Each structure stands twice: as C-alpha cells, then as structure tokens.
Structure 1
Amino acid sequence: MSSYGKTGRFPFIAPALVIAVGLGFGVPATGQDTGPVSPDLTPKLRDLLRQEMLSIEQASKDILSALIAGDDAHVAGLAQQIHDSFILQQSMTPEDKQDLMAAVPKEFVEQDQAFHELSADLAQAGRDGDRDAQHAEFGRMIEACTACHASYATDRFPMLAE
C-alpha cells in the first residue's frame, strides 16, 4: 500500500483545484465532431445531464477533500458513485436514450464512458489504499472533464473555447 508520507507532493492538486472552481483549460481531441451538445438535447435530457454534472462536480470536490485527508474509503465510495451514474441511466426511458444518441456525436458517448471507467479505476485505488494511484486517477478524471467540456460544453464554459 502506498502512502502520502511526508513528501508534500500533490501532483493532482492543480488540475483538481482548477475544476473545483469551475475554471480550466482543455484541448479537444482532433478529428471528432465538437461543439455544444446542450442545444440539441431535449429539455428532459438537458436537465438530466445538468443534474449529473452537478452531482459529479460535488463528488469531485468531496473526493479532493477525502484525498487530502487520506480517507481512502470515502474516495472509493464517491468514485464508485460517479461510475455508477453513467448519464443517469436509471432516469432515462428508451425514448430518452434514443433522443440522446441522435443528439450527440459518438465521441461524446465514448468520452463519457471513458470518464466513468476512470472513476472505477479511482474507486479501486481507494479500495486498495493506493494513494499514489488515487492522485493519478483523480488527475486523469479532471483532465477528462475539462477535455469534454472544451469539446462539447463551450456554451456553458466559454473560457474553454479560448
């Protein structure tokens, strides 16, 4: 089991704080359809996605607090909650899923799936008590958030379009 020790290193802190305050810089992946997806969503899907994003943002802030406190179990639980949300599957009807797939590019769905896999990796690192891996996985999650927002949510995060 890794431990934070007394090195004073927080390799994830800068990107974590950036996202925690709603700022950041990201570069969209090349060769994919980009642009805000929110205008193409139904009002219900827009609301569900907004709810999920707010939930993920709060969980990310709580993960940061748990990481700096060394609370592996709390990190694991929160990361697992993020993994399990996956575009609020539980709240979507088959028609909602069809509407979503028609409104967003496949790369959006792929990025979302990859993000949720990163959260599963963070949950496992928390269960393992591997703090170095927790810091690395959390940093990757924050980078994934920012990259997705830069590609698909510049209407909500205009500074990411710069």
Structure 2
Amino acid sequence: MTVREDQPSLRVIEGGGSAGGASLVSGPSVGSQLGLPGFSPPRQALICTTVGVLAALGFDALLSDLDVRRIVDLRVAPSFLRLGLRGREFVRRAEHFGADYIHLAALANRFAGESWDGERYRQRLERHYQENWEAVAQLRGLVEDGPVLLITAERSGLEQELLLGALGRLSPGFEVRELAGT
C-alpha cells in the first residue's frame, strides 16, 4: 500500500494487494458517508465493509486508522482466509488493535439465494430482523459504545439497508460509513 500526500488535508490510499487497486471512495448507500483514512469516526459510528475490502485496503492499517472498539461479523460462516488468517489469528490481531470480535449469528442472512423474487426476499429479511429484535438491539448497543466495524457478506446491499433501517428505528443518532474497494 502506498500513501500519497499530494494534498496535505487528505490522504489517498492506493494499491493494497488487489489487481485493480483499492480505494475508500466508492458509491455509498443512502444515508451513509464514505470512510476516509486519517479521519477517525465519531464514537457512535457503524463502519460497513466486507472481508474482500479489508483484504484490499489492508486490515492492520484500517484498524489502526479507524480505532474501532468492536468488529461485528454478520456472515453465516465467517472466514478470514482472504486476509491470510485463521479465525483465532484474526481475533488476536483485532485485540492487538483494541477491538473485540463478535460473530452476531442471529443477524446473519440465511436467505440469500432462496428466492428470485426481490420483494419476497425483502419481506423475508424484514421479518428476520423483526423476529431477532434482541440481536438488533444488541448491535445498536454496541454502536452506542462504538465505533463498530460491521462485516457483511459480499453483495449484501439490501441486507445492509434493512438492518440500518431497523437500527435507526430502534434509536437514531449514529453515523454510518462505508469502506469500499475497487
């Protein structure tokens, strides 16, 4: 990873291991902000990403820059092999940077690929978050004590949108940032 400091007020990160390079600048979802290195998130922040983006941008550098307190994983079957790490190694590395790792299995999306009907899929996910309201409240409590790095599955835009809506209905007033790679 190389750091260009052409513009002193903004660090631009390029490279980081992917063939096309990586960047923290990509299209954010509605109501979110882009994450920029060197600009620490506020205490009540939820930083959304995937393991692929963590691999592209550099896991250690991101944890150092973001100063997150918790890493919450919403994938059905967490794996960190794209980072070159086994689960225990990932947890140790996170702890080295002062972050606790939590696999919040109750909020994992077990419905991906079950239906080609987009509306039915949306309704199923909404119902899933309603039925697991305690886990949504637990995640909102973690955000309250954040910042929290939220790891989701690849291509989980709808899942993320609905979860953010559920968190906001429970208690608004937190910031959402997205880390994106190219």
Q: TM-score, normalising length from structure 1?
A: 0.31
Q: Which has the higher strand share?
A: 2
Relative contact order, higher structure (CA 8 A, sep 6+): 1
Q: TM-score, normalised by structure 2?
A: 0.29
More helix by share: 1
